[in-house]
Structure 1
């Protein structure tokens, strides 16, 4: 009897959880009767009633719901890894708690898994969101496809379905400052992509701020691409070539105008240009060094504060 684990990271989703849980229970009717369900909800350090809502869902369905409360806010992707570490299904799905990604797609994704595919993605072909949000999202995923992972589907994806083998690999890797969804694609397994329209959020307010989106873009590019380092090398060569041309120009200019006093403008422009490039280069190199230091420290990705039903408290699997 196949078992499907559905992992849901939650952050300030007190109002969403009752609605989402009801939809998930209704969605079970789309599956064959022999499928067993496990819902793993991870409270990512919320300070509202999110944990109480998770506890209520678990107590109403103790045989199929696992609640995990993290000690602090570690980000949705680390929270997902915590949920994957506690999941026990033959296959696993990851979805958001706000129902912007339709759970009805899970049945079709399950059918692909039954056919032997180990990874199924649901990519956002359209978005019922504002113009600025659509522009930022499209630009974000265009950059990732262009510079890091050309094989990912356009529009991005927050609803994924995969085999337990991939779940074990993601948990084993313990990848810090990364993107779990892109990591699943990076593993190299063939996948199928199902386009859908991402719905407008109806309940609550998104905590996915601009600063978090920018951090995710930086993490994604640095985790899956050498482009920033290569870009520095190319720009360095370009600046070096321009410096050689400018030096040749200064020599000829000096020979033709021996009495011309040296100009501060060209000197300052050159100094500022080189200094700006050096600061950018140091910043990019610093990002890589910091990530190496963060991995070398081997600090836990998350700390479990409480589980429901109660399980031995531990620091990451």
Structure 2
């Protein structure tokens, strides 16, 4: 009998939990009768009533609902890894608690898994959100596709179904400051993607702040691409070449007895530009160095306060 684990990271989702769990329970009717479904819900350090709502759901289905309470907020990706480590299914699916991803897509994803695909991706073909949210998402995934992982689907994704083998490998890697979903693609398994339109959030307020988006963007690039370092090297060589040519020009003028060109303003502009470039270069290198230091500490990605 196949077993499916549904992993849900929760952060300030007190109002969402009753609606989401009822929708997921209703969606179970579409699966074959021989499929066993368990739920692994992870409270990522919420300070509202999220844990209380999760425990209410647990009390209704004590045998197949598992609730993890983390000691503090570690981010949705680390919370998902905590859920993956506790899941026991033959395959697992990750879905958010805000009901922006359609649960009814799970059956189609599960059917692809039965056909042998170890990774099935629900990619966002379009969004009901408008404005900066849509612009940021489109720009982010377009850049990542060009400079990091060319084989990721268009539109981005965080709604996936994956085999136990992928789950075990991701948990074993304990990758930090990275993009969990890109990591699954990076493993190299053939996958199939199912496009869908992401719904607008109807309940509660998103905690996916601009600061977190920027951090994810930086983490994703530095984890899967050497482009920043290579760009620094190329630009440094170009600046060095320009400086060498200009130096030769000054020397030739000096040898010929010509007056040196008046260029204080131009020189200061060049100096400030090079200085700014050096600071940016040090910042990029520092990001790589910090990630190496963070990995070397070998601190846990999360701390479980309670298991229910």
TM-score, normalised relative to structure 2: 0.97
Distance 1:260 1:186, change over 3 A: closer
TM alignment of 1:149-168, pairs within 5 A: 149-168=149-168
User: What CA distance in whole angstroms lies between the structure 2 residues aligned with 1:202 and 1:145?
Assistant: 30
8 Å contact from structure 1 (residues 20, 99) kept in 2: yes
- Partner residue of 1:109? 109
- Partner residue of 2:237? 237
Aligned alpha-carbon RMSD (Å): 1.3
**Cα deviation digits, residues 108-147 of structure 1 (max 9, x gap):** 0000000111000000001000122111100000011011
Name structure 1 gaps, 5 residues minimum.
309-317
User: What CA distance in whole angstroms lies between the structure 2 residues aligned with 1:166 and 1:121?
Assistant: 13
Measured after TM superposition, the shift of residue 44 of structure 1 is 0.5
Measured after TM superposition, the shift of residue 253 of structure 1 is 4.8
- Partner residue of 2:305? 305
Q: Partner of 1:171: helix, strand, or coil?
A: helix
- Partner residue of 1:145? 145
- Partner residue of 1:17? 17
**Corresponding residue pairs, total:** 308
- Partner residue of 2:188? 188
- Partner residue of 2:96? 96
8 Å contact from structure 2 (residues 7, 83) kept in 1: yes
Measured after TM superposition, the shift of residue 252 of structure 1 is 4.4
- Partner residue of 1:53? 53
- Partner residue of 2:172? 172
- Partner residue of 1:311? none
User: What CA distance in whole angstroms lies between the structure 2 residues aligned with 1:10 and 1:211?
Assistant: 19
Q: Partner of 1:67: helix, strand, or coil?
A: strand
Q: Partner of 1:206: helix, strand, or coil?
A: coil
**Cα deviation digits, residues 24-75 of structure 1 (max 9, x gap):** 0000000001100111010111100011111111111111110001000000
User: What CA distance in whole angstroms lies between the structure 1 residues aligned with 2:252 and 2:135?
Assistant: 49
User: What CA distance in whole angstroms lies between the structure 2 residues aligned with 1:278 and 1:91?
Assistant: 48
8 Å contact from structure 1 (residues 101, 158) kept in 2: no
User: What CA distance in whole angstroms lies between the structure 2 residues aligned with 1:79 and 1:261?
Assistant: 62
Distance 1:78 1:259, change over 3 A: same
Measured after TM superposition, the shift of residue 278 of structure 1 is 1.0
**Cα deviation digits, residues 123-176 of structure 1 (max 9, x gap):** 000100012211110000001101110100000011000000000000000000
